[in-house]
Structure 1
Amino acid sequence: MRYAQIVIGPAGSGKSTYCTEMQRHGENTRRTIHIVNLDPAAEAFDYNPSIDIRDLIHVDDAMEDEEMHYGPNGALVFCMEFLLDNMSWLEDQLGEDDDDYFIFDCPGQIELFTHLNIMRRLVDALQLCNFRLCAVFLLDSHFMLNSASFISASMAALSAITCLEVTFISVLSKIDLLSKNSKKQLERYLEPDVTDLCANNSLVLSNSKWNEKHQKLTETIGRVLEDFSLIKFVPLNIRDEESLAHILLMVDNCIQFGEDKDVKVAEFDEPDEDEGDDGYGEEV
């Protein structure tokens, strides 16, 4: 069995930085984490990729082709489809070693994981290669400081969940860049009362014709999110080792990483009957 994170999210949400810091955190904790760059348009990143899609195809290859005449977005979609048509290349690059841990750094073109089936096909292909997968959806926390943005972000995350159909964690990135006031504002969206947020949004937009027409729809969406606990965002301070470890532990639990390893059982001295020790070093 092998394990992997699929890191997705809008452009600028901090995906490559997340991968860099996770790789560094792994090195600090004596854990090998392989990074796979799946962005054919990437110009630079700080991590050391074990596999790079640009060795197979680059977005410039599609854009410069005289027959296809693709723009940047179309060229990126073409590159991802080219990868899927040449999965044998990726399979050879991944190898067959058990217990490998990979993080796939995906492009930031949001339609790839919201309404196109490209990322879903990649997920299916990786599962056939014996991977347990968890999608990590990153969103810039600066866009989560009002009720309307919270609803919008929740729907984007929900769309990605529906498309990929794998275990899923929604992460708010760039917490370390928020002001103290913004961090306080953000707290209400980590354990949200969606009904209250929708009501607050109604007050803010009370003079809006759009709000008057669609407020019931917004409230219904809010109730669905709250009643079924569909989305919960986890904050990530990329500069905090404990925050990184917390996210990594959540992912590991989702994909059951390490659960099949031998458990080291602590050895305890037999308690002295006269002392009344309970076996854990505590007096009864």
Structure 2
Amino acid sequence: MANTVLIVLGMAGSGKTVFCHRLYSWLSEKNLRLNKDTGLNDAVFGANLDPASIATKMPLHYDIREHVSVADLMEQKRLGPNGAILTALNLFVAQIDTFVKQIEEAAPTYTVIDTPGQIEMFTTSVSGQILTKCLSGAPNTEVKLLYVLDGESAQNPQCFVSNMLFATSIFYRFKEPLLLIVNKSDIEGSQKIRAWTSDFSLFTDDLTTTDFITPTLRSMALWTEEFYSAFKLYYVSSLTSSGKTELLAVL
């Protein structure tokens, strides 16, 4: 049975963790195979790889917090929060075979992986690449990266450019299929992002009205337009489930 691994990435505040929960629920509607011992749905494997997460939403087959403690690492190794998260991820990938085996034993149709809100801890570290390569190299497995944008903060042109630069970096670093998810699309004003991505002149008009506009920012905006114009953006709401059908159709 083929397994589609969905690695969900997003900046802090993007609603990534809630989106993971909703995505898990949406996928479970048509993919249900309850494990009588755990009570979990083995058709959709949920994994939390954010060691600093206080509370997770989706049902979990694997939780990195059960294997490593950020608080203990900070105390024992005298690390800061980010250093402890990075160390926790490195310790995790040192045992990556165990994680991959656990997924294979569950034989899911989908695997949903929530990653740290400190996105650079995963995207710029070796641990993120090791995880992705190990999963993509597993038999009958396809990896897709889901980059979640905050549909509220991304209404700021500078924030939108920043997100697109991050998404570009992720795409070329991991070299896996990438889906751009505009979350919180039910929030007033999110239609502005739709307009920007369909007509670049509208974006440049709004960009010129910002307080901080430089030739460099203009150049970056033009460069990122060449990137995101090659992708379809998926507008979803974790609150109302709008956009669910369109997203699930490509997963």
TM range (shorter): 0.7 to 0.9
Equivalent residue for 1:161?
Answer: 171
Contact between 2:234 and 2:243, CA under 8 Å: does it hold in 1? no
Deviation at 1:24, TM superposition (A): 1.8
Contact between 1:36 and 1:105, CA under 8 Å: does it hold in 2? yes
Cα deviation digits, residues 201-256 of structure 1 (max 9, x gap): 22444xx6xx3xx32x3333333333453455321112344522321222x2xxxx
Equivalent residue for 2:225?
Answer: 226
Higher relative contact order (CA 8 A, sep 6+): 2
Which amino acid in structure 2 is aligned with residue 62 of structure 1? L
Contact between 2:7 and 2:112, CA under 8 Å: does it hold in 1? yes
TM value normalised by structure 1 = 0.75
Which amino acid in structure 1 is aligned with residue 64 of structure 2? I
Equivalent residue for 1:274?
Answer: none
Distance 1:97 1:203, change over 3 A: closer
Q: Which has the larger radius of gyration?
A: 1
The unaligned stretches of length 5 or more in structure 1 are: 253-284
Equivalent residue for 1:25?
Answer: 26
Equivalent residue for 2:208?
Answer: 202
Cα deviation digits, residues 6-27 of structure 1 (max 9, x gap): 0011122112211211222233
SS of residue matched to 1:144: helix
Distance 1:5 1:69, change over 3 A: same
Q: For residues 165-180 of structure 1, what are the structure 2 equivalents within 5 Å?
A: 165-176=175-186, 178-179=187-188
Cα deviation digits, residues 91-137 of structure 1 (max 9, x gap): 23223465531001111112134433331221011122232100001
CA distance in 2, matches of 1:97, 1:85: 21
Distance 1:204 1:57, change over 3 A: closer
Cα deviation digits, residues 127-174 of structure 1 (max 9, x gap): 222321000011111112132222222111111212221100111112
Match 2:66 to one of 45, 48, 55:
55
CA distance in 1, matches of 2:93, 2:54: 22
The unaligned stretches of length 5 or more in structure 2 are: 33-42
Contact between 1:114 and 1:156, CA under 8 Å: does it hold in 2? no
Deviation at 1:55, TM superposition (A): 2.1
Contact between 1:133 and 1:166, CA under 8 Å: does it hold in 2? yes
Which amino acid in structure 2 is aligned with residue 21 of structure 1? R
State, as a whole percentage, how many aligned pairs show the same letter. Answer: 23
Q: For residues 61-210 of structure 1, what are the structure 2 equivalents within 5 Å?
A: 61-65=72-76, 68-96=77-105, 98=107, 100-130=109-139, 131-176=141-186, 178-179=187-188, 182-191=189-198, 193-205=199-211
Contact between 1:154 and 1:231, CA under 8 Å: does it hold in 2? no
Which amino acid in structure 2 is aligned with residue 197 of structure 1? F
Q: CA RMSD in A?
A: 2.3
Equivalent residue for 2:35?
Answer: none
Moved more, 88-97 or 98-107: 88-97
Which amino acid in structure 2 is aligned with residue 115 of structure 1? T
CA distance in 2, matches of 1:225, 1:232: 14
Equivalent residue for 2:243?
Answer: 243
In the TM superposition, structure 1's runs of 4+ consecutive aligned residues that sit over 6 Å from their partners are none
The alignment covers a number of residue pairs equal to 238
